[in-house]
Chains A and B, each alone.
Chain A
Amino acid sequence: MLHTVNKSSFESASLKICLGLAKSGSDILLIEDGVYGALAGTIHATMLAEATSAVSVYALGPDLKARGLPEDRLISGIKVVGYDGFVELACANDKVQSWL
């Protein structure tokens, strides 16, 4: 399953809830304000860093760029994709769960 998270972890529990329910082997894509969750060195970073051993975490490049977040400040192991990658992830998984 592809899970998308569009909220900042500082504002919303969406990422936490997503990680609590996502099965090992899932793909998680951070989009919109959700990309703030990809930042290393934040109070929420450990939660996501630990998850990368069980799930694959992606961040949407255009949303990172829009917010001035360079790739070298992201949690190690997070892959950056464009909208074409978003489409590929949606098709490669059997369904998409949007954690709004």
Chain B
Amino acid sequence: MSETKKFMYINRRPPYGTVYPLEGLEVVLIGAAFEQDVCMAFISDGVFQLKQGQDTIESGMKNFSPTYRALGDYEVTRIYVERESLEERGLTEADLMPLTWEDEDDDWAEKPSIQIVSRTQLSDLLEEQDVVFNF
């Protein structure tokens, strides 16, 4: 594949109520092998996917929240979270899982993957993309 496209995976739904977040994550991980310019956006209820402390034992569902921590290893290093969506839901960045990636150009320094952005910034980012998925 000669060209690189900008891919954005938009996540708007909370986890467990539907399968979309889980199967959406599977697309992102498979997609990582194609070496495109990839980022993820979490808006609306999608911000709940990144909530710390998910314990699914009593519900019998698969806890797939640890998978988000692997995104850095798959070179998904830009994870945009919409500030307004957090605020509307009474959440702060401290409620989210601390997702990181290792920068090989900076002596493998561990850096945060999550960037809290405003709705306006997200709108600008969306405009820049070539391909957008919604889960």
* Chain A min CB distance to B125 (Å): 10
* Chain B min CB distance to A23 (Å): 6
Known contacts being A1-B126, A97-B126, is A20 close to B134, with CB within 8 Å? no
B134:A23 contact, CB within 8 angstroms: no
A23:B44 contact, CB within 8 angstroms: no
Interface size range on B against A: 10 to 19
B130 on interface, CB distance cutoff 8 Å: yes
Q: Mark A10-43, 1 if CB is under 8 A from B, else 0.
A: 0001000100111100000000000000000000
Known contacts being A13-B44, A17-B12, is A99 close to B134, with CB within 8 Å? yes
Near A by CB (< 8 A), chain B positions 6-56 give 10, 12, 43-44
A98 on interface, CB distance cutoff 8 Å: yes
Residue of B44, B126, B127, B134 near A98 (CB, 8 A) is: B134
B134:A21 contact, CB within 8 angstroms: no
- Contacts A21-B126, A95-B132 aside, 10 further interface pairs with beta carbons under 8 A come to A1-B126, A17-B12, A17-B43, A21-B122, A23-B123, A94-B130, A95-B130, A97-B10, A97-B126, A97-B132
